[in-house]
Amino acid sequence: MRYSWGSMLRTIRAAPAVLLLGGIGLTVPPQTRDMLAFLEDGRIWPAISFAIALVMLAGSAWFWSRAALAARFGIGDRERYRAGTSKFDWAAFTWLPRLMLLTGFVIGTVIAAVNKSIGMIMSAVVLGIIGVVLAVFRSRNINPASSPALRYSLFAWIIGGMRSRLRALLQAAPFGAGLATVMLAMGLVPLALGVIESFGSSLHVPNHIAAAFPGPGIAVLLLGLMIGPLVTSTFLLDGLTFEFQLGRLHLSLSRPPVLSFIVLYVFVAIPALFHVHTIRLLPDAAVDRQPLDRIFRQWIEVCAPGAGTLRPIIVAVSGGGTRAGLWGAAVMDQVLQAQQPDGPALFAVSSVSGGSLGVAGAMSLLSAENVPCHANGLPLLRPTTDGVIPLAGDALGPLLGGWLLGDIPRSAFDPFAAVIRWAMGLRPNGGDSAEAMEHGFEDLWNKVRETTPRTLKGWDKPFLSLFYTDPPGTYRRGMPLWFANGTDATTGNRVITAPIAAPDQRGSEIAWPFRGARDFHTLMRSDVSISTAINNTARFAYLEPFGEMMPLQETAQVGSLIDGGYFENEGLQTTLELAEWLERQSPGGRSVQPIIVQATGDGEANVTAADVMTCDIASDQPFLPSDHSAWQILAPLLGFYHVRGGHSVVLLRQARDQFCSEPPRFVHFYLPGDDNGRAIPLNWVLSDAIGQFIWTAFVSKRVSNATELDRLRAALTAKRD
């Protein structure tokens, strides 16, 4: 046998596997780009914490790779060769750990480069140079030679072989067993905390760590800590040899596929067999809701008394991460400021995905107003005097931490927890990365709450508490409705989290204008927190797990909740159906003419006014496809992805055709790329500079927002008939 690069790479395979998967996950997907942009806003600690995390990742990869190789061959640092081992590749033995070290810093450099963070690029490069120099010139005399680690049969491995290999690994580690034991324990602490967090605690561990290591820093840190336990596991099991005799056939298995087993067990088998990602419910929250027609009559009494045509305003807010949330809040701010005391008033908002973040902020502020439909803007969501953008902070770090601290331990130990839940009649409730992200939303909102002496509800409070006062069932006077649109992966239809009553399973005579849509509260028989209501629309592909819809006091699943953008990303389908229902009403003989305001937060570069569907667009010409071809093998996937945009084009055309009569009642605000022609990042964290641009994009000359703002004001100042 030749002990070469390939053989030694298999020995340390856990370290390069973590570096490879972590590096791809943190650098390739466009959804995770620009997540360090906020470091350029004068914040010092995030940059320092990222450097610390990077040192942990690269240093851990080097440390455990060196320990595993030294323990396998029993080679100390004083030895440069071994007698009788001419097939031994000393270059591989020496340089593989150093390459692990270098790769860790390269990953950090790429992350910083993708995020255009010059300071982080320099930090990663400097740390990498220092690390390699130390590894090359300071690596001798830090561990002694020992006997090579042995392999054992199953019985021998259990009674002593496993312990012997563990002792060999720790003793062969750089600087001795003491440091190795500490680092191994540090790697196991997150696993233990993750188990506690996943099964019933309120420690919010991912959120606390993300506060110290924001953005991708928490992922880099936890990946670094993970390397120790994984290398240890593979090294221990590499000492186990299975031998089987079937007649004359002798079979043996060495180096069991530990990593493949972990991946299949944690990410495939357990989620398929157990309920790992259930949506969090609030069992004690009231779910009594009033029907749409009664709420509309109350809205008329408070927001549009008198005579003449009723012009309720419906705002549709698209998906698109934090950028869509800020853009939706900015558009709603403009709508509220443009309203006149005796003119049209805000009646409802329909949101999708990231747009729900801004809508939740707006609804939380409106719920504290005496007459919410006539509130004078959303001042607490605007940029502050020192340039800070509310709600633009880090919600990505908790999600990344939730992957490693929530999803993995929860999947690993859920079979045992399932037995306990079955015995006690309990329902699984959150405990995964989705919950960590929801707590991240709550933390963002708490920072807004700190800036005002008014009592604002935290986002851990029930969703319906925004709309109903005590006693339960009393709807807030003039409170606009909020329809939060998710998608059911099992049916392909919408799942709407809404404050109105919906038909039950038997189909009662209750106004529900949303064709084919399912009502979340009816399905689940429980309310959720405001942060969960946001996430009911925002479970983006692969960034978050789908939400298992398991009703209260039930064990059967009724659907799988995914991002609302799968069905339609503008929030316009729900808006148009609601407008259609309103137009059929004639309360007191008054006609109803809804006004539709669309907030599209795409943030794409190179978009012009001719590309945005408004009342000024005379044909579908801007939406005809350009002459692009696709690879045959990718055409089905590309077609599936782009159909979503096709649905939006159809609905925008429908809105233009139905509501662009005189006076026009369709207004479309489009978020363009920034002033440098770059796309606005699709992410859950944005820099203050990008946030500032979003709030001022109404004056952009590249799209028609200024014209649309004039059209909005004209529509809201029109006299009643």
3-state SS record for 299-341: HHHHHCCCCCCECCEEEEECCCHHHHHHHHHHHHHHHHHHCCC
Q: What's residue 84's pLDDT? A: 47
All residue ranges of the chain with pLDDT < 50 are: 1, 31, 81, 83-84, 141
Report how far residue 35's alpha carbon sits from residue 85's, in angstroms, rounded to the nearest whole number.
49
The two beta strands, 666-672 and 595-604, are parallel
375 within 8 A of 338, measured Cβ to Cβ: no
Per-residue pLDDT reduced to its tens digit, 422-478: 877 778 888 888 998 999 999 999 999 988 877 899 999 999 999 998 766 789 999
Per-residue pLDDT reduced to its tens digit, 205-214: 888 888 888 8
Q: What's residue 141's pLDDT? A: 46
Structure tokens at 700: 């952009």
CA neighbours closer than 13 Å in the CB half-sphere of residue 165:
24
Q: What's residue 344's pLDDT? A: 93
Report how far residue 68's alpha carbon sits from residue 79's, in angstroms, rounded to the nearest whole number.
16
Report how far residue 596's alpha carbon sits from residue 702's, in angstroms, rounded to the nearest whole number.
22
Q: Nearest-CA neighbor of 536 among 205, 198, 286, 281?
A: 281
Structure tokens at 192: 């233990």
Per-residue pLDDT reduced to its tens digit, 338-367: 999 888 999 999 999 999 999 999 999 999
DSSP state, residue 677 = S
List Cα–Cα distances, 331 to 275, 328, 689, 714, 715, in angstroms.
39, 5, 18, 16, 15
Q: What's residue 1's pLDDT? A: 46
Q: What's residue 621's pLDDT? A: 57
Q: Which domains can be identified in the chain, with CATH numbers?
A: 5-243 (no CATH), 292-390+456-622+666-717 (3.40.1090)
Q: How many helices (H) and strands (E) does the chain have?
A: 24, 13
* Close Cβ partners of 658 (under 8 Å, ≥ 6 residues apart): 576, 579, 666
Structure tokens at 259: 């990593």
* Close Cβ partners of 163 (under 8 Å, ≥ 6 residues apart): none
pTM over 0.95: no
Sign for the CA dihedral angle at 425, 431, 321, 492 comes to negative
